[in-house]
């Protein structure tokens, strides 16, 4: 099963609060597996948030972000119905994305 | 924090009585609140939905017609009314016991196959964990109201109550050894006095839950199993009367609280 | 708001407060305890080192269960005496290596079904007791033992008391929450001596 | 902002394009990612080195950089942190956990109406100061906050 991902965007006044959940192990490279061997570092490096196709937030993150990352962002001047698109790219080149509309 | 009904009044009284512990307590409360707000728990509901609707087993059917007590396929509020008595099996079942029953009856899977991996881990959560998240999510906003009218439901509660206090296992522990006195901790973890409604209500209204210390989703059957592991007993059988009775006792003790899970725990 | 939800659902929940019975830790009859024992044996399975014999109720567990952890002196005293007699004390000094004792006090491992029986277990002392002021992460189920040796000294009688308490707490208080670490083979003689040292040795951080 | 990163992550079709490019061996993942992610800053072993690598070696303390975090976290695996910069013209926010082996946890760049705000969960190996640096008009404003980490549980 692909890593699940979910976003929600709600308007408070003219600021949209965007919350995104990403299924990802965010391995630090310091943990050992059941075989005693270290588990390779595996983590999301880039997070991009777009509203109506325009990039509003670019995040570069490390393995220090917790497993199954959850982020909240805020965008001013957004309107109900605006399209929010969030994507990530990890250090192994895998990507995922999700979309939602501002409610 | 939500304070309501008699549990709330008691909670406030307790908070006042336990004044010296308040400074530390409030710090953990802030941590727990912030963790709950930033929880990835919904992801488990999302995957659970896929698994619920996925045809599986020799019968190649999904679990969508599983009867959780409110009729085949009814998910709304079903979890909040568990554990309860089921006539078709003439016994009390909690969420996981009933889901397992649906796997073996509806889907035609063997108990052996369906119970091969009930408790998952962060790298690979189990099917049961995902399904529990999905089903429980449909009870948000419903008051916790486990079955209590049938004779077997009453017997289950009574058995659970006795089991809660029974000293057993290599180290002579009962549930009450850790969860029987106000204001106690194991290390820095505060221990809820689970036979009292004011402690049971907020807890039972938030299981099953994403557990930070496991970095994954955990269920009530697991929670009870894991307590017995640390009590140094043998292992309770999944879905057995003992585990269901303890779950019934805890749920009845915490009843009336509005379900707001699946929650997030430390 | 909550009240409204409650009343709307009143038919299902009844009155939320009134319907929850007050729960007390009640005494059990012989028949009730026998019934519970049978249910436990039916619903549990041996796993790893955690065998089914762990569900056998010995006379201590039995008395505590029958009397809701408060047995009358006439019941408790003879049983405590029997537990005390069964303690196997080491010869000579009972003070081992406090540094190793610190590790045992900090480790909550041992005797669980997922663990290898040969892996060294811990005493989990910090789960319940405060000991060294340098370890702030301690439980509160048991009394604080900070500075125990400084207050009580470390003479032969005190050594014997602490050794005995760790070996079999039930010899002193029949329904104590504390496990019987020596009696159950959870800690070895040397390990208990090391814990005694951690509690009593003047150079141990517990006594600084 | 560097152009290459924009190219890599631009447009809805980018995931497919990138996946195709990777599969076809046209791009090595390391090369793509090195361009998109400040490796030297993330590999830095100290807060100072990480900030130097990001061009933020000189910072001034500011009350307009707000950090919301629990004083005590029960579990270092998840420490929630909420950061807001009220410094006018803030273009990016950097989050560092001083005692982590690699202190830099993330950099967030805001544009097109995004509020200089982010909430995230980080891992902390031990009790540590959390340092947040906001960039506005080429200057760097800093705030710090201590978070204590305890680890609970029995059974080992």
Say if residue B142's pLDDT is above 50. yes
The mean per-residue pLDDT over the stretch D108-129 comes to: 96
Q: Which residue has the higher pLDDT, C25 or B6?
A: C25
pLDDT at B176 over 90: yes
Mean pLDDT of chain C: 92
Considering only the top CATH level, what class is B40-265?
Answer: mainly alpha
Size of interface B-C (CB pairs under 8 A): 169
Residues 6+ apart with CB under 8 A from B47: A1, A4, A23, B125, B130, B133, B134
Contact A98, A86 (CB under 8 A): yes
pLDDT tens digit at each of 208 positions of chain C: 444 444 444 434 444 444 667 899 999 999 999 999 999 999 999 999 999 999 999 999 999 999 999 999 999 999 999 999 999 999 999 999 999 999 999 999 999 999 999 998 999 999 999 999 999 889 999 999 999 999 999 999 999 999 999 999 999 999 999 999 999 999 999 999 999 999 999 999 999 9
Tell me the per-residue pLDDT of B39-70, one tens digit each, with 9 for 90 and over: 999 999 999 999 999 999 999 999 999 999 99
Cβ separation A21–B40 shorter than 8 A = yes
Confidence (pLDDT) at B189: 86
Contact status, residue C87 vs residue C164, Cβ threshold 8 Å: yes
- Whether the predicted pLDDT of D32 surpasses 70: no
pLDDT for res D81:
97
Residue, of D26 and C146, whose pLDDT is higher = C146
Residue of B nearest to A69 (CA): B40
* Radius of gyration from C-alpha coordinates of chain C: 21
Crossing angle (nearest 10°) for helices C156-167 and C189-200:
130
Q: Is the pLDDT of residue B75 over 50?
A: yes
pLDDT at C21: 74
* CA separation for the pair A41, A31 (Å, rounded): 9
Coil vs helix vs strand at B39 = coil
> How much is the average pLDDT of D43-54?
97
Q: Which of residues 91-120 of D touch A (CB under 8 A)?
A: 97, 100-102, 104-115, 117-120
* B180 vs C contacts (CB less than 8 Å): 25
Maximum separation of any 2 CA atoms in chain D, in Å:
53
Confidence (pLDDT) at A52 = 97
**What does CATH list as the number for A5-101?**
2.60.40.10
- In chain B, where the domains are located: 40-265
Task: Enumerate the residues of chain B whose CB falls inside 8 A of the CB of residue A40.
Answer: none
Chains that touch B (3 or more CB pairs under 8 A): A, C, D
**Pairwise CB contact (< 8 Å): D119 & A72:** yes
Q: Do B34 and D120 touch (CB under 8 A)?
A: no
Per the annotation, the verdict on B66 as an active-site residue is: no
* The residue to which tokens 């760097």 are assigned: D140
Closest to B257 measured CA to CA, from B147, B134, B142, B153: B142
Here the tokens at position B239 are 């879905």
A65 touches chain B (CB under 8 A): no
Match 């729960």 to its residue by tokens: C23
**Cβ contact A65–D77 (<8 Å):** no
pLDDT tens across the length of chain A (103 residues): 458 999 999 999 999 999 999 999 999 998 888 788 899 999 999 999 999 999 999 999 999 999 999 999 999 999 999 999 999 999 999 999 999 999 9
Report the pLDDT value the prediction gives residue D150, as an integer from 0 to 100. 77
Query: Residue A21's closest CA among A5, A8, A44, A43?
Result: A5
pLDDT digit string (tens) for B188-235?
Answer: 888 999 999 999 999 999 999 999 988 899 999 999 999 999 999 999
Which subunits sit against C, judged by 3+ Cβ pairs under 8 A?
B, D
Q: Could you tell me which chain C residue has the CA closest to the CA of B231?
A: C112
Quote the pLDDT of residue C12: 41
Alpha carbons C6 and B258: distance in angstroms, whole number: 8
Q: Which of C13, C20, C177 sits opposite B253 (nearest CB)?
A: C20
Give A69 to chain D, closest Cα distance, Å. Answer: 7
The C-alpha atoms of residue B86 and residue B150 are separated, in whole angstroms, by 10
- Residues in chain A with CB shorter than 8 Å from the CB of D22 are 93
C-alpha separations of A80 from A8, A74, A101, B253, C16 in Å? 12, 14, 7, 43, 40
Instruction: Judge whether B250 and B157 are in contact, CB under 8 Å.
Output: no
Determine, for residues C54 and B169 on separate chains, whether the beta-carbon distance falls below 8 Å.
yes
CB D64 within 8 A of CB D101: no
Kindly report the pTM of this predicted structure.
0.87
Which CB contacts under 8 angstroms, 24+ apart, belong to C118-127?
C120/C191, C121/C186, C121/C187, C121/C191, C122/D156, C123/C166, C123/C181, C123/C186, C123/C187, C123/C191, C123/C195, C124/D154, C125/C195, C125/C198, C126/B187, C127/B186, C127/B187, C127/D154
Which residues lie across from A73 on neighbouring strands?
A: A18
**Residue at token pair 């490279």:** A29
Question: Greater confidence, D151 or C141?
Answer: C141
* Rounded CA separation D50/D62 (Å): 20
CA-to-CA separations, B187 to B181, C106, C184, D113, in angstroms, rounded: 15, 10, 23, 46
Question: Chain D partners of B229 at a C-beta cutoff of 8 Å?
Answer: 155
Q: What is the pLDDT of residues B126-137, one digit of tens each?
A: 999 999 999 999
In chain C, which residue ranges form alpha helices assigned H by DSSP? Answer: 2-8, 10-13, 30-43, 59-66, 73-85, 98-106, 125-128, 148-152, 156-167, 189-200
Burial pattern B122-155, b for ≥16 Cβ within 10 A else e, equals eeebbbbbbbbbbbbbbbbebbbbbbbeeebbbe
Mark out the alpha helices in chain A (DSSP H runs).
Answer: none
Candidate from A46, A70, A76 with C-beta closest to D9: A46
- Which of C76-85's residues contact partners 24+ apart within 8 Å by CB, and which partners? C76/C174, C76/C175, C79/C170, C79/C174, C80/C170, C80/C171, C80/C172, C80/C173, C80/C174, C81/C171, C83/C168, C83/C170, C83/C171, C83/C174, C83/C180, C83/C183, C84/C164, C84/C168, C84/C171, C84/C172
D 113-152 residues inside an 8 A Cβ radius of C: 150-152
CB D118 within 8 A of CB A71: yes
């Amino acid at each position: 099963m692909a890593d699940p991902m979910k976003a929600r965007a709600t308007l408070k006044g003219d600021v949209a609060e965007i919350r995104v959940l990403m299924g990802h192990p965010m391995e630090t490279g310091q943990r050992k597996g059941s075989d005693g061997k270290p588990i390779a570092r595996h983590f999301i490096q880039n997070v991009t948030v777009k509203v109506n196709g325009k990039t509003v937030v670019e995040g570069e993150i490390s393995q220090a972000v917790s497993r199954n990352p959850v982020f909240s962002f805020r965008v001013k001047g957004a309107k109900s119905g605006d399209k929010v698109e969030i994507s990530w790219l990890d250090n192994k080149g895998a990507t995922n994305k999700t979309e939602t509309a501002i409610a | 924090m939500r304070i309501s009904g008699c549990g709330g009044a008691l909670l406030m009284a307790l908070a006042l009585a336990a004044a010296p512990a308040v400074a530390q307590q409030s710090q953990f409360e802030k941590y727990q609140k912030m963790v709950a707000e930033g929880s990835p728990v919904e992801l488990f509901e999302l995957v659970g939905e896929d698994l619920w609707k996925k045809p599986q087993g020799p019968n190649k059917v999904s679990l969508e017609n599983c009867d959780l007590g409110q009729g085949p396929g009814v998910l709304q509020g079903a979890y909040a009314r568990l554990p309860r008595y089921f006539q078709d099996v003439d016994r009390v079942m909690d969420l996981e016991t009933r889901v397992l029953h649906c796997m073996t009856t509806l889907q035609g899977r063997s108990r052996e196959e369906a119970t091969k991996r009930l408790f998952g881990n962060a790298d690979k959560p189990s099917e049961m964990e995902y399904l529990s998240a999905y089903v429980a999510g449909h009870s948000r906003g419903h008051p916790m109201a486990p079955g209590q009218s049938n004779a077997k439901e009453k017997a289950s509660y009574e058995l659970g109550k006795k089991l809660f206090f029974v000293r057993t296992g290599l180290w002579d522990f009962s549930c009450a050894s850790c969860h029987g006195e106000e204001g106690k901790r194991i290390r820095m973890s505060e221990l809820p006095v689970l036979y009292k409604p004011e402690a049971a209500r907020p807890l039972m209204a938030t299981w099953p839950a994403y557990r930070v210390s496991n970095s994954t989703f955990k269920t009530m059957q697991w929670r009870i199993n894991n307590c017995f592991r640390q009590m140094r007993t043998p292992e309770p059988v999944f879905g057995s009367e003992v585990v269901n009775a303890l779950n019934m006792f805890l749920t009845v003790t915490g009843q009336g609280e509005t379900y707001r899970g699946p929650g997030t725990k430390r | 708001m909550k009240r409204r939800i409650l009343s709307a659902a009143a038919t299902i929940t009844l009155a939320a407060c009134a319907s929850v019975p007050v729960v007390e830790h009640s005494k059990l009859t012989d028949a009730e305890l026998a019934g519970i024992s049978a249910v436990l044996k039916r619903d549990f399975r041996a796993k790893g080192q955690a065998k089914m014999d762990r569900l056998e109720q010995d006379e201590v567990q039995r008395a505590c269960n029958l009397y809701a952890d408060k047995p009358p002196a006439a019941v408790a005293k003879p049983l405590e005496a029997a537990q005390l007699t069964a303690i196997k004390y080491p010869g000579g000094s009972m003070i081992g290596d406090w540094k190793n004792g610190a590790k045992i006090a900090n480790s909550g491992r041992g005797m669980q079904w997922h663990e290898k029986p040969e892996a060294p277990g811990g005493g989990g002392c910090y789960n319940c007791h405060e000991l060294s002021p340098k370890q702030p992460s301690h439980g509160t189920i048991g009394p604080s033992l900070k500075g125990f040796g400084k207050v009580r000294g470390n003479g032969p009688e005190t050594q014997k008391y602490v050794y005995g308490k760790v070996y079999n707490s039930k010899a002193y208080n029949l329904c104590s929450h504390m496990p019987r670490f020596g009696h159950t083979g959870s800690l070895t003689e040397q390990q208990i001596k090391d814990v005694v040292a951690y509690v009593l040795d003047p150079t141990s951080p517990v006594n600084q | 902002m560097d152009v290459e990163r924009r190219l890599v992550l631009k447009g809805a079709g980018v995931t497919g394009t990138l996946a195709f490019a990777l599969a076809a061996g046209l791009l090595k993942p390391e090369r793509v990612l090195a361009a998109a992610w400040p490796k030297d800053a993330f590999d830095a072993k100290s807060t100072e080195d990480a900030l130097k690598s990001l061009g933020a070696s000189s910072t001034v303390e500011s009350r307009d950089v707000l950090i919301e975090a629990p004083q005590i976290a029960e579990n270092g695996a998840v420490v929630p942190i909420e950061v807001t910069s009220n410094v006018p013209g803030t273009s990016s926010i950097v989050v560092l956990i001083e005692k982590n082996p690699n202190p830099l946890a993330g950099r967030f760049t805001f544009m097109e109406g995004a509020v200089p705000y982010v909430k995230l969960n980080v891992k902390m190996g031990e009790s540590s100061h959390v340092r947040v640096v906001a960039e506005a008009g080429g200057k760097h404003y800093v705030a710090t906050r201590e978070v204590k980490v305890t680890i609970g549980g029995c059974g080992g």
